[in-house]
Each structure stands twice: as C-alpha cells, then as structure tokens.
Structure 1
Amino acid sequence: MKRRLLILLGVALALLAGADLLTALQPYDEVVDRGPASQARANPFLAAEHFLADIGRPVSHSEHLAELDQAPAKGHSLLLLGDRGQLTPRQTQRLLDWAARGGHLLFVAERLWNEADGKSGDLLADRLNLQQYTSENRDTANAQGESTSDEQQPQLTRLYLDNEASPAFLAFDTGFHLYDADKRAHAWANSAGATHMLQLRHGEGLVTALTDAWIWHNDRIGEYDHAWLLWYLTQDSQVTLVYRADHPGLPSLLLRHFPEMLTALVLLVLLSAWHFGQRHGPLRAPAGSARRRLQEHLLASAEFIQRHGGRAVLLQRLQQDILQRAGRRHAGFDQLPAAQQHELLGTLSGLPAGTIEQAMRPAADASAIDFTRQVADLQALRNAL
C-alpha cells in the first residue's frame, strides 16, 4: 500500500513539474545572418539587376564587350560598371559610334586628368573631353553651375529635375570631381564641393559619366535615391550591365568554340604523363637518415635572409608595388615629389595620412614589432588601391 502511494505521489510530482516546464517554455523565432549568398559575393550589382527586372526592364549582364556594339542602339542602355583598362582605341570608337546611333552609354571615369600630358589615359573620357580631378584640386576646373567654397561640404549629392520640387539625394564619393571642358553637358549632379554626374548628347544618343558606381552596389542601392537614379537613367530601354569591359582572351575563345579539341588535348596530356611516368631501370636506394629536417631548412633560410637585408628587400618590394599601382591610376604619379605622392595615395586609398607616412618611410633597423606594423600598413595600402 505504501509503495503504491509513493508511486502515485511521484507521478503527481512529475506531472506538476512537466506543467511548470511547459508554461516556462516559450517559442521564439531567431534569424541567423549567414552573410551574402555566393551569387551576391561574385556579382556586386546583383541587387541592381533584380531591381531592374522587378520594375519591368529587360536586363542582362555581360563579362566583356564582344559584339555588344552590334546590338540595336535605340531603346538600349549600356552600363559600363567594371574596369576598362583593357579597352582598345578601336573598341572605344565603336562604343561611341553605337551611342551616336541612338544608344545610351553610361560609364565611370577611371583616371585623373593630367595637365602636363593633356589627357588622363581614360579613352572614353578623353574622347569626350571630360576631365576628372580630386576635389582638392578642383580649382583647376569649375564645377557645373557652382563655385568653390572653403566651408565644410555636405556629403550628399543633389540632382535637380525641372518638374520636381525637391532634389534627389545620392551618396557619391565626394573626393572626385568631373569637369565638362567643352560645355556640352545638359544635366549634372553636384555636391557642394564637386560634380559627380554629367550627361550630354552624342549624335542621336546620350552619354552619362559618373565619378563612381558604388551607389549601385548590393549593400548601397537601397540607400537614399540610388535605386531611383538607376530607374531614371534607364527609362524606356533595355539594359545591359558590363562588369568587366575587356575582350576575351585566347583561352576563353578556345573554350567557347573548340571544347571537344581541348578535351582531347587534356586526355592526350594525361595519357602522355602516365606513359612517361612509368618506372624504367632499378629502384634508387633510399636516402640516408642524415638529412636535415624541414624545420632546420626553414630556420637556415630565415637566418640567411636576415643576414642579407631581408627586411629592407621585402619593404622595398612592397613599396614599389604600391607606387606602380598608383601610377596606373594616376598618370604622371612617378614624377611628383614624395610629399605630393603621399597626399595622392591618401586620396586614392582613403587611408589616414599617418598610415601613409608610416607605410612609405624608408627601411631602417627597427624592432620586430615595428617591422611587422609597417608590413601590415603596406599591405593595407596596397589592398586599398
């Protein structure tokens, strides 16, 4: 009897504890941010493509410019948003001819204007006589419809339209300024310190030049009026976005037109490697155990580099790589004094002046901590370029 009573009491206590536990447990939703999908990481303008498709624009993207100038020009917008460093003069002229037939060509100015050379090296901008300066040097050119002010400039760019009471607000990089040397532009967008968008008529079509296209990146298109500007510039047209404006290389062309031949060639190479990899002759005797271990080899290599100025050689190579990258982005960079080079490096990379000075100082007999810090600053500067 007592045993049965104890069992009943245990069951009752278990039921009470379960009821309390159920009342304490509350369901909830948790959102786990796993970062952008692989498609978004591979395509910085994926959100722009989806936006255009959602508003009914026929939209496509291309990795290069091959045959794009053969498409119908009227009712078509071609947005060159990638690097155009491999664009040839012939391709440049074909693109401008395409725009003159009624197309809308939009591109990002890539180089700064060089007064000594009378050009920037950006073939599209030079053909249209559009000059890009840093905002600090804009005293060499006047912005469209405004004057230079020494006061602190607001960060947002404003675009005014004739039929709109308020402007559109855009977050362009205010460190750069576009100047229309031939006064052909009929529309522009200005911040208080610079011009960031110019639009001009070219034959029967339009050409739009921007200082940057970061406003349409996946993480920024939803800010301010960035999406609206993309809608406004592509009205009533089919849209093609080009992320890398270079012509396809020989491997790409072979893979596209001769896949069977490449497959046969790979099989032949593998078969040849297998045939010539067969052993011929007697086995080689195993090496003796007196060899140095890998750790000893690494230690000896490190001591050799240290004795023969390894730190100085490493720093000089990193600094030369940075100067070469800056020279490709700014014509005549290597002819500037060191102080002006450091100032321009800060403008191009967006890094503080202290970091630039720390990274570009000459190699010296410094401690291991100072050496490590200088290498880290050089790598950060090189990655920013």
Structure 2
Amino acid sequence: MNRRWWLSVGVFITVLVGALSVYLYLKATPYQAEIDHGPTPEAQANPYLAAEHFLRKQGLTVGHANSLDVLPSLDPHQHSLLLLGDRYNMTPRQIDQVMNWTRAGGRLLFVAQSLWDEKTGQSNDLLLDRVQVHQSLSKDLKEPPPDILDDPFPKLTKLYLEDENAPAYASFDTAFHLEDPNNLAQAWANSGKATHMMQLKHGLGSIIVVTDADLWKTPAIAQYDNAWLLWYLTADTRVTLLFNTDHDSLLTLLLRNFPQALIALIALIGLALWHVGVRKGPLLAPASKGRRQLQEHLRASADFMLRRSGQHSLLQALQQDILRRVRHRHPGFEQLGVAEQWLVLARLTGQPTRAISQAMSPRPKQRLSSAEFSRQVAHLQTLRNTL
C-alpha cells in the first residue's frame, strides 16, 4: 500500500506540473526588448568614432592618429588633416611641418584654442597666430544690426552655398568668435552674432579654422547638418583625424592601475639598497682602555667646559665649592656678614684677608687673559685645598 500511495503522489505531481505548464504557455506573450549597455569601450576611447563611421559610409578613407609623427607619411595631395585634440604642447618645428604640408596641397582643419591678447599681440595658440586669425569672446562684440536680430536661429551657425536657397545649419559653440584682421579668409560661417568657421588659402592647399569640434562628437554629430558639414569640408579627400595627443605617462598609468605593485617595487628597491649598503668587512677590535692617560681626560674635560660654559662659570664653581667647605667646618657661616666671612676664611686657610677678598669677590663677565685666568684658578684651588 505504501508503494501505491507514492505512485499516486507522483502521478498527481506530474499532472499538476503539466497543467501549470500548459496554462503558462497559453498565457505567456512573447515580446522583444532592447537593452542599452552603454557605449562600447571603443566609443568611450574615441569621441569621434561616429564621425569616422559616417565619413566611411560616404566613401572616404578615414584614418586615426595620436601624434604628428605620421605627417611625413601622409601625401598632402587630396588629403585632409583634422587636428581636433589639444595642441598646447605643439612645438614651432611641428607647426612648420604642418604648414609646409598644407602648402604642398593638403587640407588642414584645426580648432582655435586660445583667445587673442591685445596687450601682448599674440595668443597661446602658435598655429592660430601663424595663420593670422584671432579668437575672442562673442560677449565682447557689439550688438548686431536690427535685421540680424530677426534671425529665427541665432544660436546656429549658417553656411550659405551657391545655388542653394537655404543655408546649412551647424551647432558650433557660439561663445567664441573668429576675426580675420588681414582679410585673408575666402569663406566663413556665422551665427546670429559671431563667426565660427573660416577658410583660408595657403599655397596649393587650404586651412579651415573652427571655434570648436564638439559638434562632430557623439552624439552631437547627428544633430542639424553637423555630419553633412564634416563631409562637405573633407569631400574628395582621404581623412586623417588627429586627437588625444596628450597621453598619460607610464608612472601615471602605474599609479592609477597598479598602486600596490608600485609600492611593493619601491619597498623592494629600498631593501636592496639597504642590503648592498651594509658593510661586510672584519669587525674592529675594541679600543684599548689604557690608550689615554687620566691627565689627558681631565684636560679634555676642562677644555670642553671652558668652551661651553666660559671662564666666569668655572671661577664661580670654584668659589661655590670653597663656600660649601667653609659652611661644613664653620656652622653659621652663611649668617655672617661679608667682612666677617673673609676673616673666617683667613683664619681657616692662613691667607691674608686681602687675598681672600680678591679671590672670592664676584668677577666681571668680560673675558680674562690666559695668565690672569690661570692665576685666579690657582689661587682658588689653593684656598679650597687648605680647607
């Protein structure tokens, strides 16, 4: 019976699970969902990745470089070089190389990175100064004419083309303005108040200066005509994007990613230096205790005390020692007057009162001659030895 009972329980559980499965199958509704895992590591490392993909879709050959070391290998003919990264460490020699490359037929596009200083007559952007274009703040400009104030999109930069009724719109940063003091620009693009893009002729090539390149980063490149503008500026050329030229040093990378290993390495180097620095020669034999005479030790001690405390302190110490011995031999000595104390000392030592007075009187603090100091010491020692 026990076996039949367990068989019934098993059949019941099987039927219950089957019924539940059929119910869930009939009630369940399949659907599709997209899960956003964020940008890929490649997109995080390259803010212009979408721009590169877009240009490749337009049939352009696009490359990416991290430094100007690739410049000698780039043929300037029908080639666009986009300097989109930080250029504050760019040397005058590198600027000459870039300008010569452009003069030979290259198309150069770079971002103005510094404001023009009227007092110094230059900016911190050597390349911008070389092409004689100035950058300033748009807020410092005069207010535009009334007809421009009617612009429906004053924050967007307009690029007008021939045979086109409407301009192309780009979202340059309107906080900055480009100036062409020498009237070298052949084309430009303006917002409602300022200029944000200029194109200049340079030898067989051309130079394009923009106030910023954020409109070509992800996801701003998909807004307005930003992507089209990038294609228009690089059309019919091979493209090399150069950015992220400032790399972290090896020490910075180690501190950021392997701080414990770096600390262990420093400790290991310190232990190694300590081990190498330990002397391994024979031990020195103990110095002989009889190598100095007692007289030498006493003289050395006296010289040290004389240099450290001076003559006055030594003479005063002898006088105090004499008074201590007198108080021991003549109770109540400290209660006597000075003249009576001198008489007691004269009686105990057999020295005249005048000699006692000269020896025990307070001495001036000025330095005595060696002969006078020796005489005073000898006299006080004579008095102390007779007590």
TM-score of the superposed pair, with normalisation by structure 1: 0.59
Q: Which residue of 1 aligns with 2:93?
A: 90
Q: 1:122 to 1:25 in 2, by over 3 A?
A: same
Report sequence identity in percent. 42
Cross-structure match for 1:237: 237
Question: Secondary structure, in 3 states, of the residue corresponding to 2:34?
Answer: coil
Give the letter for the 1:189 counterpart: A
Q: What stretches of structure 1 of length at least 5 have no aligned partner?
A: 252-268, 282-385
Which of 52, 61, 64 aligns to 1:61? It is 64
Q: Answer whether contact 1:87 1:245 (CA < 8 A) is retained.
A: no
- Residue 41 in 1 paired to residue 80 in 2? no
SS of structure 1 residue aligned to 2:197: strand
Instruction: Name the residue aligned to 2:161.
Output: 161
Matches within 5 A, 1:320-359: none
Letter in 2 for 1:52: L
For residues 40 and 6 of structure 1, the distance between their equivalents in structure 2, rounded to whole angstroms, comes to: 59
* 1:353-382 superposed Cα distances (whole Å, 9 cap, x missing partner): xxxxxxxxxxxxxxxxxxxxxxxxxxxxxx
SS at match of 1:228: helix
Q: 1:104 to 1:192 in 2, by over 3 A?
A: same
Question: Residues 13-54 of structure 1, C-alpha deviation per residue, up to 9 Å, x if partnerless?
Answer: 654443222122122222221211111111111121222222
Give the 3-state SS of the residue equivalent to 1:172 in structure 2: coil
- Which region of structure 1 is more displaced relative to structure 2, 67-76 or 163-172? 67-76
Q: Is the 8 A contact 1:106 1:208 kept in 2?
A: yes
Taking the aligned partners of 2:110 and 2:222, their CA distance within structure 1 comes to 21
- Go from structure 1 to structure 2 and tell me whether the alpha carbon gap of 1:249 and 1:34 turns closer, same or farther (over 3 Å shift): closer
Given the alignment of the two structures, is residue 73 of structure 1 paired with residue 80 of structure 2, yes or no?
no
Q: What is the CA–CA distance in structure 2 between the aligned matches of 1:10 and 1:250, rounded to whole Å?
A: 67
Partner of 2:33: 30
2: CA distance, partners of 1:30 / 1:151: 43
Cα distance in 2 for residues equivalent to 1:32 and 1:237: 38
For the aligned residue pairs, the C-alpha RMSD in angstroms reads: 3.7
Q: Partner amino acid for 2:236?
A: D
Equivalent residue, structure 2, for 1:139: 142
Q: CA deviation at 1:206?
A: 0.5
Residue 110 of structure 2 corresponds to which residue in structure 1? Answer: 107
Q: Once the two structures are superposed, what CA deviation does each residue of 1:285-304 show, in whole Å capped at 9, x if it has no partner?
A: xxxxxxxxxxxxxxxxxxxx
CA contact (8 A) 1:153 1:193 kept: no
* 1:174 has 2:177 as partner: no
Counterpart Cα distance in 2 of 1:122 and 1:147: 35
Q: Relative to 1, partners in 2 of residues 1:114 and 1:147: Cα closer, same or farther, differing over 3 Å?
A: farther
Q: Distance in 1 between matches of 2:115 and 2:187?
A: 21
Within 2, Cα distance between the matches of 1:245 and 1:9? Answer: 72
In 2: Cα distance, 1:114 partner to 1:275 partner: 54
Residue by residue over 1:50-74, the C-alpha shift from the partner in whole angstroms, topping out at 9 and shown as x without a partner, is 2222222121111111250553211
User: Among residues 133, 137, 150, which one is paired with 1:130 in the alignment?
Assistant: 133
Specify whether residues 150 and 5 from structure 1 end up closer, same or farther in structure 2 by C-alpha distance, changes over 3 A only. closer
Please state how far the C-alpha of 1:139 moved relative to its aligned partner: 3.2
Write the distance in 2 (CA, Å) between the matches of 1:96 and 1:87.
13
Structure 2 counterpart SS, 1:83: coil
What residue identity is the alignment partner of 1:135?
A: S
For 1:173 and 1:250, locate their aligned partners in 2 and report how far apart those are by CA, in whole Å.
Answer: 31
Q: Residues 84 and 244 of structure 1 are in contact (CA less than 8 Å); yes or no, is this contact kept in structure 2?
A: no
Greater relative CO (CA pairs within 8 A, separation 6+)? 1
Q: Is the 8 A contact 2:88 2:124 kept in 1?
A: no
CA distance in 2, matches of 1:224, 1:35: 23
Change (3 A) 1:11 1:69: closer
Give the 3-state SS of the residue equivalent to 1:133 in structure 2.
strand
Over 3 Å counting, the alpha-carbon distance change for 1:13 and 1:131 in structure 2 is: same
Q: Distance in 1 between matches of 2:152 and 2:230?
A: 29
1:6 and 1:74, CA in 2 relative to 1: closer, same or farther beyond 3 A? closer
**Structure 1 residues 214 and 52 mapped into 2: Cα distance closer, same or farther (>3 Å)?**
same
CA distance in 2, matches of 1:113, 1:147: 29
Displacement after TM superposition at 1:165 (Å): 2.4
Q: Is the 8 A contact 1:120 1:126 kept in 2?
A: yes
Greater fraction of residues in helix: 2
- List runs of 5+ in structure 2 lacking aligned partners: 251-265, 280-387
> Greater CA radius of gyration, 1 or 2?
2
User: 1:174 aligns to what SS in structure 2?
Assistant: coil
Q: How does 1:263-278 map to 2 (within 5 A)?
A: none
Shift of the 11–192 alpha-carbon distance from structure 1 to 2, 3 Å rule, reads same
TM-score (norm 2): 0.59
Kept in 2, the 8 Å contact 1:168–1:225? The answer is yes
Q: Which residue of 2 aligns with 1:189?
A: 189
- Which residue identity lines up with residue 241 of structure 1 in the other structure? L
Q: Secondary structure at the match of 2:240?
A: strand
Q: Check 1:6–1:118 CA distance in 2 against 1; reply closer, same or farther (3 A cut).
A: closer
